[in-house]
Amino acid sequence: MPALRYNLGMVRSSVVIVSPALASANNGNWQTAWRWGQLLRPHARVRIVQRWPDEKDDGGSVMLALHARKSAESIQAWARARPGRGLAVILTGTDLYLDIADDLQAQQSLELAQRLVVLQAAGAAALPAHTRAKARVIYQSTDARAPLPKASRQLRAVMVGHLRDVKSPETLFEAARLLRDRPDIRIDHIGQAEQRSWADRAIATQQSNPGYHWLGPMSHGRARLAIRRAHVLVHTSAVEGGAHVIMEAICSQTPVIASRISGNIGMLGHDYQGYFEHGDTSALAALLVRCRQEQARPANDPAQPLLERLRAQCSLRAPLFAPETERAALLQLLNELQDPT
């Protein structure tokens, strides 16, 4: 990744951010688009749209398009109007680890872009070799928040993410079943069920496993409060481009237990000690039990509990997710798009 260098005098762009999801979706794409708008507005005119061109087009000089496949029509339209100029495509997990392997529109988006943005350090390795020179890593950011008081007689775990296939909610359901006889471990599950079958399974899990609580969708603010109250964030995904909830947990001093997949490794680092193999429900349940057992150790026990080690590792990653780091990377990207030489 190149060193961050930018010249504020060069940043005179009119920027259009294309996001397949707008505010009503309350998902990662929207959170990224909204935050980038906030970070860039002191330096550029910024609009967020679902498709381009639109009726408010002002002849912008830069397009930042989230999702190679879902934004493909906007990407193609921009490339026709401004061939070889001002186009960056931001790659999601489904882009990197699913779509670009066999979707022609997603593949074309890679070719048309002057820059390809990945949201964690392992992302560029998933790109075709001939496109990697165009890749830039921009870690997403959030403000640091203090942890909230935590219960001492119970381990409280939280998972935040809409219930859909790529998030692997079934892994959490099965881990809850394995922990049904552990009243000292509580699992809160936040997220909207995108299909009725997921809602049915969450409700059934809640009815048969008293430690599991499906709380449904929440506002971003309430979800962050839940992360700050929890002892640990659980993240079971099969595919991730760079999970917001991981950085939000890190910046709230809440350690993470996550599936060992490329997108999570790119956020947490190869040597992170809180991984379980994707889909290994027994390993996830065992990690939660271990955290609870170590939580209950006497205060004079010299061994450092796993949760403390994970918290220390997360604290070392926190500067990557600071707003000033993300803003600097975005401004450098704009400079490169305006002056690609």
Is 148 within the bounds of a domain?
no
CA–CA dist 174, 167 (Å, integer) = 14
CA–CA dist 315, 268 (Å, integer) = 10
Distances in Å between the alpha carbon of 89 and those of 77, 234, 321? 13, 29, 20
> Is-contact 134 113, C-beta < 8 A?
yes
Is 150 within the bounds of a domain?
no
Q: Which domain holds residue 14?
A: 8-141+322-338
Is 213 within the bounds of a domain?
yes
Residues 293 and 326 in one domain: no
Give the pLDDT confidence score for residue 263 in this predicted structure. Answer: 94
Give the pLDDT confidence score for residue 148 in this predicted structure. Answer: 94
Token pair in block for residue 147: 């942890």
> Is-contact 210 216, C-beta < 8 A?
no
Give the pLDDT confidence score for residue 17 in this predicted structure. Answer: 95
Residues 332 and 313 in one domain: no
Token pair in block for residue 223: 């979800």
User: CATH number, domain at 265?
Assistant: 3.40.50.2000
Residues 229 and 197 in one domain: yes
Is 110 within the bounds of a domain?
yes
Is 13 within the bounds of a domain?
yes
> Is-contact 285 212, C-beta < 8 A?
no
Distances in Å between the alpha carbon of 39 and those of 36, 123, 286, 326? 5, 23, 41, 8
Is 2 within the bounds of a domain?
no
Token pair in block for residue 321: 């997710």
CA–CA dist 90, 21 (Å, integer) = 14
Residues 67 and 174 in one domain: no
Cα 273 to its chain centre, rounded Å, is 19
Residues 107 and 238 in one domain: no
List CB contacts of 20: < 8 A, sequence separation 6 or more: 29, 50, 66, 67, 70, 71
Residues 116 and 218 in one domain: no
- Length of the chain, in residues: 341
Q: Give phi and psi for 225, each to the nearest 5.
A: -60, -40
Look at the pTM and tell me if it is higher than 0.75: yes
Give the pLDDT confidence score for residue 48 in this predicted structure. Answer: 93
Give the pLDDT confidence score for residue 50 in this predicted structure. Answer: 93
Residues 161 and 293 in one domain: yes
Is 149 within the bounds of a domain?
no
Write the secondary structure of the chain as one string of H (helix), E (strand) and C (coil). Answer: CCCCCCCHHHCCCEEEEECCCCHHHCCHHHHHHHHHHHHHCCCCEEEEECCCCCCCCCCCCEEEEECCCCCHHHHHHHHHHCCCCCEEEECCHHHHHHHHHHCHHHHHHHHHCCEEEECCCCHHHHCCHHHHHHEEECCCCCCCCCCCCCCCCCEEEEEECCECHHHCHHHHHHHHHHCCCCCCEEEEEECCECCHHHHHHHHHHHHHCCCEEEEECCCHHHHHHHHHHCCEEEECCCCCCCCHHHHHHHCCCCCEEEECCHHHHHHHCCCCCCEECCCCHHHHHHHHHHHHHHHCCCCCCCCCCHHHHHHHHHHHHHHHHCHHHHHHHHHHHHHHHHCCC
Residues 180 and 132 in one domain: no
**Nearest Cα residue to 109 out of 62, 157, 85, 74:** 74
Is 146 within the bounds of a domain?
no
Number of domains in the chain: 2
Give the pLDDT confidence score for residue 9 in this predicted structure. Answer: 45
Residues 80 and 175 in one domain: no
Q: Tens-of-pLDDT digits for all 341 residues of the chain?
A: 444 554 444 445 799 999 997 766 667 788 899 999 999 999 999 999 999 998 877 777 899 999 999 999 999 999 999 999 999 999 998 899 999 999 999 999 999 999 999 999 999 999 999 999 999 999 999 999 999 999 889 999 999 999 999 999 999 999 999 999 999 999 999 999 989 999 999 999 999 999 999 999 999 899 999 999 999 999 999 999 899 999 999 999 999 999 999 999 999 999 999 999 999 999 999 999 999 999 877 666 767 899 999 999 999 999 999 999 999 999 999 999 987 55
Token pair in block for residue 149: 């008081």
Residues 106 and 21 in one domain: yes
Residues 132 and 180 in one domain: no
CA–CA dist 121, 134 (Å, integer) = 14
Give the pLDDT confidence score for residue 25 in this predicted structure. Answer: 61
Residues 306 and 330 in one domain: no
